[in-house]
Amino acid sequence: MTAIPRSNQSQEQLFHMLSSQIGFTDSSIELISGSMSENQPLNPELEREEVSFGDEESIRVLSWSDSMETPTIHDRNGSRKAAGGMGHKWHHHPELELTLVTAGSGVRWVGTSREPFTAPDLVLLGRSLPHTWELVGKTSGFAVQFRDAAHHAPLSNLPEFRAIHSLCQQSECGLLLPISVARRLSRHFRALPSAGGIERLSIFLRILAAIDEVPAEDLATLSTPVDASAVPARHAQSIRRAIHFLGDHFEDPITLEDVLADCQMTKATFSRHFPILTGQSFTEFLQTLRLERFRRLVGKRGRSITEAAFEAGFQNLSHFNKVFKKRYGETPREFLQAAR
Locate the DSSP E strands across 69-111. Answer: 72-74, 80-82, 91-92, 96-110
Statement to judge: residues 216 and 73 lie in one domain: yes
CA distance 56 to 68: 26
> Does 117 fall in a domain?
yes
> Does 203 fall in a domain?
yes
CA distance 298 to 278: 26
pLDDT at 185 over 90: yes
pLDDT in tens, 208-265: 999 999 998 999 998 877 666 777 878 888 987 898 888 889 999 999 999 999 999 9
What angle is formed at CA 287 by the lines to CA 283 and CA 290, rounded to 5 degrees?
Answer: 145
Statement to judge: residues 247 and 270 lie in one domain: yes
pLDDT in tens, 195-206: 988 999 999 999
Domain that holds residue 277: 228-339
> Does 63 fall in a domain?
yes
CATH number at residue 117: 2.60.120.10
> Does 286 fall in a domain?
yes
> Does 183 fall in a domain?
yes
Task: State whether residue 110 is helix, strand or coil.
Answer: strand
pLDDT at 316 over 80: yes
Statement to judge: residues 241 and 96 lie in one domain: no
pLDDT in tens, 153-168: 556 666 767 777 888 8
Closest CA to 197 of 55, 96, 72, 51: 55
CATH number at residue 308: 1.10.10.60
Which residues on neighbouring strands pair with residue 82, listed in sequence order?
Answer: 72
Statement to judge: residues 167 and 238 lie in one domain: no
Closest CA to 133 of 104, 98, 116, 108: 108
- Using CA atoms, how far residue 20 sits from 88, 208, 293, in Å, is 8, 32, 18
As for how many domains the chain has, the answer is 2
Statement to judge: residues 77 and 204 lie in one domain: yes
Note the residue count of the chain: 340
